[in-house]
Amino acid sequence: MPAAEIAGTLHLRKTGANCWRGPCPICGGKSRFQIRKARSGPLVWCWGGCDRKDLLAELRRRGLLPKREQRPLTPAERAAWGRAQRQARDLARAAWRWRRERLGELDEAASGAVDLEGGHLDPWALAAAAGEAWRLRQADAAGVIRLYREALAKDGDHTLRLVREGADWDRAAERWCKAVIRALAERQKGVANAA
């Protein structure tokens, strides 16, 4: 059932082009429940803190949403799901590595735009670096992935170099952490043997 029909059945009021609000079907809180039209179907939310799964279950119980299909996945579907999960994980990891390295570059560019000893200030370079760094720091996970894809489209070689540098840094940090843990374990053994 489309979001507009669900909203009509639940007597919600329209608050935007594709958005309705009203009493929550679970907690009953006034104007806490929100339903929004989306490409994949209705999106539901309760500002009172009701769990989204519980909201969907309640809408299904009332016959406003279809029952979920419970058939098991075929081996081919399981394999496709696994590939999609790995691709999503790899994309997210690459995007966060790019973010970390790009922020380092932007911080260097911002500090290079200000020379206090020489009395030099490049306001345009400073504003550009600070603006992009602010956008990267404020972005949520989906925003970082979107910015990463934009960077790939603009300058793929540079972006991929940053991802490689991020992966190198991750490997070095992992080796360092393992070495520290080994050293602490050996030190603990020495203390235990001495006692």
Q: pLDDT per residue over 59-105, tens digit each?
A: 888 888 877 656 777 899 889 999 999 999 999 999 999 999 999 99
pLDDT at residue 69, as a whole number: 58
With the CA atoms of 108, 110, 113 and 115 taken in that order, what torsion angle do they form, in degrees rounded to the nearest 10? Answer: -80
Report which DSSP code applies to 17.
Answer: T
pLDDT for res 86: 93
Q: What is the pTM of this model?
A: 0.53
Strand order across the 43-46 sheet: 13-16, 19-22, 33-36, 43-46
Domain ranges across the chain: 3-61, 75-163
Alpha carbon distance 38, 20 (integer Å): 12
45: helix, strand or coil:
strand
Q: Mean of the per-residue pLDDT values for the chain?
A: 87
Tell me: the pLDDT tens digits for 107-156? 988 888 888 787 888 888 889 999 999 999 999 888 999 999 999 999 98
- Give me the pLDDT at residue 192, please: 74
Percent of the chain residues past pLDDT 70, beyond the cut: 96
**Contact predicate 166/98, CB 8 Å:** yes
